[in-house]
Structure 1
Amino acid sequence: MFDLTGKVALITGAASGIGAATARIYAEAGADLALAWYPQDGHDIEPVREAAEKAGARVIVEAVDVTKTSEVDALAARAANELGGLHIAVANAGIARKVELEDLDDEAWTQVVDVDLNGAWRCFRAALPHMRRAGFGRLIATSSVAGTVSAWPQHSHYAAAKGGLVGLVKSLAVEFAAEGVTANAVAPGVIRTPQALDPVHSLGPDGVDAVVAKIPAGRVGIPEDIAYVYQFLASAEASYVNGQLLVVDGARSLAGLD
């Protein structure tokens, strides 16, 4: 079950965290990969490439700024041309910036929204023609509990972008369902990723550890907790799951804790 043999997946933000875990798990499930990474983040894509190739995947890698339409389109076209199609698009690239609302100018707002929301839209737009020709497509967006089921003070632009992804996938789900394309978003809770461990713009190591007491599961998440959900959503078995927001947070959002 959840086999991805014969499928080609494009993953943005693939050098670390959820994106890297998804690349490895997709490769182990049989998919070939087009991996987008952003070198300025300081993460190395080569270990991800090596792990995927060791699992038997064909892999292409490109440095991609998801705010640049031409770069996103080029990777989608390369995936289709070199790997034989494009069936799965995981719009995972994202940034968080901690800013008080009164200090949140147009530039800072636009930067986060352009990566977190518009970047997903560009990824999906580039992938859709290939999916429609194949009669099979899986559009998957990394949303967040912030902006969907909870608030994140000092991150209003991040929350707005992550909430916007839900509206995007709902609309695409209805528009393209008859062509075999599904669109879903996943809202991770606290996941131990480089972004969450950033002490300036996110929780930092101490903040991540402090959340454990508030999570009924008794631990914060790891990237694989989300990546396995992405494997299911990418599979043929998930064909009737469409237009949904799946919250994956160890029941934290249900616990009624501050």
Structure 2
Amino acid sequence: MFESLQKRTVIVTGASRGIGLGIAKRYGQAGLNVLVVSRSLSDAEQVARDIGPHASGFAADVSQEDACLAMVQAAVERYGSVDVLAANAGIFPSARLGDMSVEDFDHVINTNLRSTFLSTKAVLPVMKANGFGRIVLTSSITGPITGYPGWSHYAASKAGQLGFMRTAAIELAAHGITINAVMPGNILTEGLAGMGEQYQAEMAASIPLRRLGSVEDIANAVLFFSTREAGFITGQTLVIDGGQVLPESSAALG
């Protein structure tokens, strides 16, 4: 699809399940070397085996700076460079404001937002030295555009990613590094499946395309942002939600 991706190296965080798993596999299909990063080494290695010999697993808690630095070092040692970072690690536990503890809030912010900062910072020396880099964040429509009860900490982290991205895009542009974000709507993953069939049906009914998104829908957009062909795009977002945010009300869907 994009020849400029051949033999490049990507780090995918949160890559053992859900959207991250789909992203890692899509990069593998496109011919990149893939460092599959998860908190669980066994899970990361299983995904790498599924992708093929040009992938390998690495265990890291990307909310910790030392882990992010080790992750980048591993990619350089195994593949010679880091060209792309897909900062996908994230969690979305539910807690209403009255029940949410400080620890609950900090855990989500650290996992979703702090990890974006730390993983981005960790890849910069290699990307700057190469004069090339692509950073793609997995944000969400929840927070930047919509809200959902129980997810105020998640929403804050996802909106925060976009604020981080816009200033980072200005700082990194002179080094040939772009940073963009995808904003998924309701995507059929293990997490969404766990919310039950009724929730899935209600969400699908609210989407003009009348279906939930797939991980491949997100992975293809992430792949595009990673290409040399997308080199004049930075600091931008792409909403991938089947049109979910468009109707004024359910009446607009007929």
2: CA distance between counterparts of 1:10 and 1:244? 20
Match of 1:162 among 133, 143, 158: 158
Aligned counterpart, 2:92 = 96
Query: Match for 2:230: what amino acid?
Result: A
Indicate whether 1:214 and 2:214 are aligned. no
1: CA distance between counterparts of 2:173 and 2:148? 33
Indicate whether 1:29 and 2:30 are aligned. yes
1: CA distance between counterparts of 2:243 and 2:58? 36
1: CA distance between counterparts of 2:224 and 2:172? 19
1: CA distance between counterparts of 2:197 and 2:116? 28
2: CA distance between counterparts of 1:80 and 1:16? 24
The alignment-based identity, stated in percent, is: 35
Once the two structures are TM-superposed, the CA of residue 39 in structure 1 deviates from its matched residue by 2.6
Change (3 A) 1:240 1:101: same
Q: Is the 8 A contact 1:95 1:195 kept in 2?
A: no
Indicate whether 1:68 and 2:64 are aligned. yes
Aligned counterpart, 1:112 = 108
Query: Match for 1:196: what amino acid?
Result: L
Q: Is the 8 A contact 2:165 2:179 kept in 1?
A: yes
Q: Which stretch has the larger CA shift, 158-167 or 121-130? A: 121-130
Query: Match for 1:232: what amino acid?
Result: F
2: CA distance between counterparts of 1:49 and 1:209? 33
Once the two structures are TM-superposed, the CA of residue 216 in structure 1 deviates from its matched residue by 0.8
Query: Match for 2:202: what amino acid?
Result: A
2: CA distance between counterparts of 1:168 and 1:93? 16
Aligned counterpart, 1:48 = 47
Change (3 A) 1:12 1:205: farther
Aligned counterpart, 2:242 = 250
2: CA distance between counterparts of 1:212 and 1:97? 21
Indicate whether 1:126 and 2:122 are aligned. yes
Q: Is the 8 A contact 2:49 2:55 kept in 1?
A: no
- After TM superposition, list the pairs within 5 Å mapping 1:125-204 onto structure 2: 125-199=121-195, 204=196
Match of 1:237 among 222, 229, 248: 229
Once the two structures are TM-superposed, the CA of residue 205 in structure 1 deviates from its matched residue by 3.5
Indicate whether 1:12 and 2:22 are aligned. no
Unaligned runs of 5+ in 1: none
Query: Match for 1:248: what amino acid?
Result: I
Query: Match for 1:36: what amino acid?
Result: V
SS at match of 1:44: helix
Tell me the number of residue pairs that the alignment of Structure 1 and Structure 2 aligns. 249
Q: Is the 8 A contact 1:2 1:231 kept in 2?
A: no
SS at match of 1:247: strand
Unaligned runs of 5+ in 2: none
1: CA distance between counterparts of 2:44 and 2:126? 25
Aligned counterpart, 2:80 = 84
2: CA distance between counterparts of 1:205 and 1:37? 28
Q: Is the 8 A contact 1:60 1:79 kept in 2?
A: no
2: CA distance between counterparts of 1:257 and 1:47? 43
Deviations 1:149-176 (A, max 9, x none): 1111211000000000001111111111
Deviations 1:46-66 (A, max 9, x none): 44212321xxx5222111112
Query: Match for 1:233: what amino acid?
Result: F
Once the two structures are TM-superposed, the CA of residue 45 in structure 1 deviates from its matched residue by 3.4
Deviations 1:171-214 (A, max 9, x none): 11111112110001111000001222233xxxx33212221111
TM-score by length of 1: 0.92
Instruction: Provide the aligned C-alpha RMSD in A.
Output: 1.6
2: CA distance between counterparts of 1:166 and 1:174? 13
Deviations 1:21-69 (A, max 9, x none): 11111111111011111239xx93344212321xxx5222111112221
